[in-house]
């Protein structure tokens, strides 16, 4: 009889919903010639009117990159990437140089961000959130800069920081993720085109949430952004990034580097809601997301907290990490990684304990549906100097359906006998019991799955700034539609 299969059917029907940020903005863009060589790097550098030291840095990275091999240890399968078959620079054309004010920004760009739910006009913007909008290879607008400047907070495109604050950039760029760190980071170091720079001076609590919204628009173009955030002694900043891209059949490369530095008693809270185009239900298209994110807790009592909600991308390769150098410093990693259809994610963190009495917490929630593969990979390393280091790790995996996979790969190395490292891991399925119970109370199958998954991710979602937690909840529900069947 019909009613037996209804749960399954209702869930299947829901697959119809498409990725809602998949539109393309029709705008004239200027491209670098395709492929990668020294000339391309010189082209990017000259586009940004960079000083020689920056060009030399890039060229050095490029030379090192040519001798490096793409890592193959992650649990990811994808065809070889042809690094010569892509554009490394694409920017909307504009009459002058950088727009002086928001009124001079191309209305098409403003409209694009409006459609993405990120109004850039300050009067319409989310209260208390300043935005740097990065479109393909350039930052097209940065809001609330003057207001932040009043308290001494620098919030600007990194291309601008290289010119205006060269001392700060030279001091910190590559100080957390060195030039030859890994294949993707080194590629980024050679070709990065824009990104966000933040400096919070001593003792200042940044009065607004800072955020960058990354948008890939141009076809066959990689995005290589670079973010550098420095929190000086006793300061605090909360930063959030969001990402979307059009739906295309081809795969596009995104290789970012983020470096964070926290000095004595400083705190950086870094949140990500990653919703790059994940590919279609057959696994065609989608972004390849190879990202290196690392924070250095340089100072005593400093704290860096990573929160990520990863729902997009065909491939996610990402391990936001903390180097706990300062005594009593704290590192945190809260992650929700959701993969559906043919998405693959290999993500986790590294907590490197160097200083005494350092502590770290890792809470990872992996959700796998459809034919997706989801891997948590994490390292907790306690050096000989890290007396009384503590770590608590909790890795939970949730499987929806029986064709997906969840994998947990923890690495633990302790070099001091006083270290205390705890690791807990669970794997579970959404039970038919739960689904029936919730639906008997009137919720549709997709609302029921959304509710259960959001509950499952609660510990992580509560770490997000309020406005974004609500968005992330909706995103989880949408990303899961049609996942059970």
Binding site for other proteins (CB under 8 A): 1-8, 10, 431-434, 436-445, 447, 451-452, 454-459
Contact 86, 220 (CB under 8 A): yes
Give least dist CB 329 to other proteins, A.
Answer: 29
Nearer to other proteins, 351 or 476 (CB): 476
What DSSP state is assigned to residue 221? B
Nearer to other proteins, 5 or 124 (CB): 5
Contact 134, 160 (CB under 8 A): no
Q: How far apart are CA 36 and CA 34, in angstroms?
A: 7
Nearer to other proteins, 2 or 466 (CB): 2
Give least dist CB 479 to other proteins, A.
Answer: 17
Percent helix, strand and coil across the chain, each to the nearest 5: 25, 35, 40
Which residues make beta-bridge pairs with 426?
A: 396
Give least dist CB 232 to other proteins, A.
Answer: 37
Contact 190, 61 (CB under 8 A): yes
Nearer to other proteins, 98 or 451 (CB): 451
Give least dist CB 241 to other proteins, A.
Answer: 25
Residue 401 has which token pair?
């359906």
279: left (phi over 0), alpha (psi -120 to 50) or beta: left
Residue 411: count of CB within 10 angstroms of its CB:
11
Nearer to other proteins, 354 or 457 (CB): 457
Give least dist CB 6 to other proteins, A.
Answer: 4
Give least dist CB 455 to other proteins, A.
Answer: 3
Q: How far apart are CA 9 and CA 369, in angstroms?
A: 16
Residue 27 has which token pair?
């705008």
Q: Look at residue 19 and give its three-state secondary structure.
A: coil
Nearer to other proteins, 219 or 443 (CB): 443
Q: How far apart are CA 224 and CA 244, in angstroms?
A: 14
Nearer to other proteins, 297 or 461 (CB): 461
Nearer to other proteins, 8 or 250 (CB): 8
Nearer to other proteins, 282 or 440 (CB): 440
Q: How far apart are CA 419 and CA 464, in angstroms?
A: 29
Give least dist CB 5 to other proteins, A.
Answer: 8
Give least dist CB 367 to other proteins, A.
Answer: 13
**Which are the contacts of 154, defined by CB distance < 8 A and separation ≥ 6?**
148, 161, 165, 168, 197, 198, 199
Give least dist CB 8 to other proteins, A.
Answer: 7
Residue 97 has which token pair?
């140089």
Q: How far apart are CA 218 and CA 246, in angstroms?
A: 9
Q: What is the largest CA-CA distance in the chain?
A: 75
Nearer to other proteins, 3 or 249 (CB): 3
Give least dist CB 459 to other proteins, A.
Answer: 7
Give least dist CB 469 to other proteins, A.
Answer: 13
φ, ψ at 132 (rounded to 5°): -110, 120
Residue 456: count of CB within 10 angstroms of its CB:
18
Q: How far apart are CA 326 and CA 414, in angstroms?
A: 18
Give least dist CB 436 to other proteins, A.
Answer: 5
Residue 129: count of CB within 10 angstroms of its CB:
18
Nearer to other proteins, 10 or 168 (CB): 10
Which candidate, 78, 24, 32, places its Cα nearest to that of 248? Answer: 24
Q: Look at residue 86 and give its three-state secondary structure.
A: coil
Return the axis-axis angle of helices 432-440 and 6-13, rounded to nearest 10°.
Answer: 80
Nearer to other proteins, 265 or 396 (CB): 396
Contact 461, 310 (CB under 8 A): no
Give least dist CB 273 to other proteins, A.
Answer: 19
Nearer to other proteins, 124 or 425 (CB): 425
């Amino acid at each position: 009889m019909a009613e037996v299969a209804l749960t399954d059917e209702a869930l299947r029907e829901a697959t119809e919903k498409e990725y809602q940020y998949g539109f393309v903005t029709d705008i004239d863009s200027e491209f670098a010639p395709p492929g990668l060589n020294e000339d391309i790097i010189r082209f990017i550098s000259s586009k940004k009117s960079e000083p020689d030291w920056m060009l030399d840095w890039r060229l050095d990275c490029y030379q090192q990159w040519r001798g490096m091999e793409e890592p193959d240890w992650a649990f990811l399968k994808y065809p070889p990437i042809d690094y010569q078959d892509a554009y490394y620079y694409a920017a909307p054309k504009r009459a002058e140089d950088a727009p002086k004010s928001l009124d001079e920004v191309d209305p098409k760009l403003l409209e694009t961000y409006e459609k993405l739910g990120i109004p850039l006009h300050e009067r319409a913007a989310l209260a208390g959130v300043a935005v740097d909008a990065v479109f393909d290879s350039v930052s097209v607008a940065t809001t609330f800069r003057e207001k932040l400047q009043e308290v001494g907070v620098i919030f600007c495109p990194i291309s601008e920081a290289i010119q205006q604050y060269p001392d700060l950039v030279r001091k910190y760029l590559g100080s957390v993720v060195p030039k030859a760190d890994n294949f993707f980071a080194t590629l980024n170091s050679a070709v990065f085109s824009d990104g966000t720079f933040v400096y919070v001076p001593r003792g200042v609590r940044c009065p607004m949430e800072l955020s960058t919204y990354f948008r890939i628009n141009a076809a066959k173009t990689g995005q290589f952004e670079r973010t550098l955030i420095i929190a000086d002694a006793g300061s605090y900043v909360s930063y959030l990034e969001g990402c979307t891209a059009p739906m295309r059949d081809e795969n596009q490369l995104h290789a970012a580097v983020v470096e964070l530095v926290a000095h004595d008693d400083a705190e950086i809270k870094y949140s990500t809601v990653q919703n790059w185009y994940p590919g279609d239900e057959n696994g065609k298209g989608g972004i390849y997301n190879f990202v290196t994110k690392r924070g250095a807790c340089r100072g005593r009592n400093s704290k860096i907290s990573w929160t990520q909600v990863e729902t997009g991308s065909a491939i996610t390769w990402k391990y936001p990490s903390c180097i706990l150098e300062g005594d009593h410093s704290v590192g945190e990693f809260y992650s929700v990684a959701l993969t559906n259809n043919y998405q693959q994610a290999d993500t986790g963190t590294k907590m490197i304990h160097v200083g005494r009495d350092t502590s770290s917490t890792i809470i990872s929630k992996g959700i796998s549906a459809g034919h997706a593969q989801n891997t948590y990979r994490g390292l907790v390393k306690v050096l000989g100097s890290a007396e009384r280091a503590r770590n608590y790790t909790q890795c939970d995996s949730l499987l929806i359906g029986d064709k997906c996979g969840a994998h947990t790969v923890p690495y633990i190395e302790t070099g001091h006998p006083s270290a205390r490292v705890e690791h807990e891991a669970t794997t579970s399925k959404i039970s038919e019991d739960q689904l029936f119970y919730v639906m008997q109370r009137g919720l549709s199958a997709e609302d029921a799955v959304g509710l259960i998954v959001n509950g499952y991710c609660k510990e992580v979602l509560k770490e997000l700034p309020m406005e974004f937690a609500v968005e992330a909840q909706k995103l989880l529900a949408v990303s899961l539609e049609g996942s059970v069947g």
